[in-house]
Amino acid sequence: MGGANTWTFVCFFIFFFHDTATTEIYTLSLHDALPIWTVTGYLGAVESRPPTAGLLWPVLGLVAGLLIACTTTGLPESGLGTVVGVVDGDTLVIDLDGRAESVRLLGIDTPETVHPDRPPECFGAEASGRLALLLSPGAAVRITRDVEARDRYGRLLAYVERLSDGLVVNLSLVEHGFAATLHIDPNDGMRHDLAAAEARARAAGLGLWSACGGPHEPLGG
């Protein structure tokens, strides 16, 4: 989780190593507020802005961007929650401190059942049922982030551990053939464990590997 540590350092630097604003008030004319320098040449002395003046707005833009990044990466790297319900084989809703969050299981992909642009796929219902069996409503869980906090749909990206026995749900679904691996950089936290689990499930012909021949096959195809 090196990316998160890097952002933490940047945020700390911005907030704690900047010059403290003065409480004194000065009145300046517009001419005084814009620094000038003098260039002497064949045409005589002329006034112009110093070369660094043009850098002001890019620098301010960079600082503003970093401040925004700090606020969006301020989510904790792990936290405890309670399962509200299952959406499909790789998405569920978890209550985190009284806030219902849609959580996408990191590193895996299950056949679609509720995708707006795809028909239901082979073994999708089985994958959804398996997730519902593993995480029934009210189950206590720990969610752990990787580098990226959310996907483009606003869902939290996480590895989910069932607190009752320490079962990592992402890994369990792949191990038993209910999900395939889906690696998207820079989220590498469980990449090798998930890849090894998929290889074992393929070799044993578990779940979707025997029923469908692989993920994302048409239902009844």
- Is 191 considered catalytic here? no
Q: Are 179 and 89 in contact (CB under 8 A)?
A: yes
Which of the following is catalytic: 101, 112, 175, 198? 112
CA distances from 70 to 46, 59, 99, 103, 145 (A): 43, 17, 21, 21, 16
Which of the following is catalytic: 101, 104, 145, 161? 104
| Token couple for 124 | 């999708």
- Is 112 considered catalytic here? yes
- Is 155 considered catalytic here? yes
Calculate the CA 157 to chain-centre distance: 5
Residue 130: in which H helix or E strand, if any? helix 124-134
Contacts of 65 (CB under 8 A, 6+ apart): none
Work out the burial of residue 69: count CB atoms within 10 Å of its CB; fewer than 13 is exposed, 13-18 middle, 19 or more buried: middle
Which of the following is catalytic: 126, 130, 145, 155? 155
Which residues participate in catalysis according to the annotation?
104, 112, 155
